[in-house]
Every structure is written in C-alpha cells, then in structure tokens.
Amino acid sequence: MGADVAISGLRLLAEPHKGRRAAAPPPAAHAIVELSHRIHAGMITYPGLPGPQIAAHVSREASGPAYAPGTTFQIDRITMVANTGTYLDTPYHRFADGDDLAAVPAERFADLPGVVVRLTDYPGPAIGPELLAPYDVAGRAVLVHTGWDRHFGTVTYGPGGHPYLTRAAVDHLVTAGAVLVGIDSINVDDTTDGARPAHTGLLAAGVTLVEHLTNLGALPVTGFRFHAAPAPVAGMGTFPIRAYAVLGA
C-alpha cells in the first residue's frame, strides 16, 4: 500500500515436506500390480470348501519316448471348486437364468478404469453408502480396500467379523453405474444374512463381482485400469482369475 520495498540477503532453501500427507513418488508408467492370491495344492480359500488338488496328467518322464531325445512336456491336472483363490462371480452364480462365464462380455471385467475405496481405518464391518458417496464409480471397477486380505489363509479370515457391503451400499453402486465391484474380504455379503443382498443386488444388475482380492494398498485411488478375466466356461458362474491393474493406463 506504500512505496516499493527491497529485500536483500534472501536465500531459498529446498526442504522435504514433513507433514503426514507427503506425496509418494509417482508409479512407473504402465507398471502392473498383481491383485490375486496364489493358488497352490491344498489351499483353503473359503472354510468348508475343499482345496485344489494338482497332479501330473502326463509327466515329463512319461512324455519322453514320444519326442526327440531331451524333449519332454508336462501336462498337469487341477481339480478344484470354482470358488478358489481370487475369483469372479457372474450373474449365473446367483441366478439360474443369468449370464454365465461364457456369456458375460469381456467389457464387464477387463480393461476397466478403476477406483479404490480406501477403508483400512474404518472399524466396520458393515460398509454403507456414505463411505462410497465421495467416489466417482460410474463406468468403473470399484475396488474396496479393507486390508482384510492380511488374514488370508488363517482362521481369522473365515466368515464372521469380515468387512461387507450393506444392501444400501449395493443400491448406491448400482444406481451410480458401477460396472464391477471387488473386495479384499472373504465375502462381499454379511454371511449371517441368508438372503445375500450384496450378491443378489449386484448380480441382478449385471455388475460382475470379484472376491478375495489382495495388495490393493499398492494402487492409487484412481489412474489405473483393472483386469479380471476368467476362462469363458459355459454353464459355470464363477472362476478363478489373475486380477491385476495397469498403472497410468
């Protein structure tokens, strides 16, 4: 408001931000983040369901005589229930007339823009619509990060006390236009509710569902594309997937 002011002897010092919200270094362009649990013989995904059995159908030793010296092949066999590891649910899983794995178009589970709903500090277990409201979910794969995957393979991971979506949360996701919903918990539903409102509401609307995700903490809230492609098996509603995200895509 007065005359010009001259400042002398000024030095500019660069100093790292010391607050809690210091920005993490940006991820490498198009880096891939794994989001699936590893499948191995005997593993238990959901208590009460048998673990997979993996064995050779044709061993390397048995295949040797059919080929040139030193050339062998291994053909393996796996026996497992569809709900093993990290898997995708299609409408047929819940509804007899719903689209199965072969009928659901790939656009419902592959190359989707993703958003992570970060709830690791939420005491839960019920996740209501008020926790989802701040996020733009239209046309996206909505991945609910609860941190429950840290219990995978333990008694604690089993049904009871796990994070789940309420009926109102599901109504919000469907109305807001989510394409796929994933969670790093044992079940998207409260397993004490036999009506399974989350499965029912999402799959009735054609929203595909991924359960038993892991490593969601490695993802940003947005800025990635999500892939969860199963084998296109006719007459089945659920199948294990290699879920992953491509950052910066």
Q: What is the CATH number of the domain that holds 188?
A: 3.50.30.50
> Is residue 157 included in any domain, yes or no?
yes
- Please determine, for residue 20, whether its predicted confidence score (pLDDT) is greater than 60: no
139 in a structural domain: yes
**pLDDT-based confidence at residue 26 (cuts at 50, 70, 90):** low
* Residue 67 falls inside a structural domain: no
Instruction: Tell me the pTM.
Output: 0.87
| Residue 245, CB-side half-sphere exposure with 13 Å CA sphere | 28
**Sheet containing strand 224-227, strands side by side:** 32-34, 244-247, 224-227, 112-118, 141-145, 180-183, 208-211, 87-89, 238-240
Q: How far is CA 13 from CA 10, 16, 21, in A?
A: 10, 10, 21
| Residue 125 is assigned to a structural domain of this protein | yes
Question: CA nearest 117: which of 109, 127, 125, 108?
Answer: 127
Evaluate whether residue 68 is within a structural domain: no
> Once rounded to an integer, what is the mean pLDDT over residues 20-37?
69
Degrees (nearest 5) of the Cα angle 62, 68, 73? 40
On whether residue 18 sits in a domain, the answer given is no
Digit-coded pLDDT (tens) for 54-69: 999 999 999 999 999 9
Residue type at 96? Answer: A
Reported as a pLDDT band with limits 50, 70 and 90, residue 14 is very low
Sequence-ordered list of residues with C-beta below 8 angstroms from that of 38, at least 6 positions apart, any chain: 85
Query: pLDDT (tens digit, 9 = 90+) per residue, 186-239?
Result: 999 999 999 999 999 999 999 999 999 999 999 999 999 999 999 999 999 999
Our count of domains for the chain comes to 1
Find out whether 53 and 41 touch, Cβ atoms under 8 Å: yes
Report how far apart the first and last C-alpha atoms of the chain are (Å, whole number). Answer: 50
Q: Which amino acid is at 150?
A: R
For 147-156, the pLDDT digits (tens) are 999 999 999 9
Percent of the chain with pLDDT over 90: 86
Can you give the pLDDT at residue 28?
61
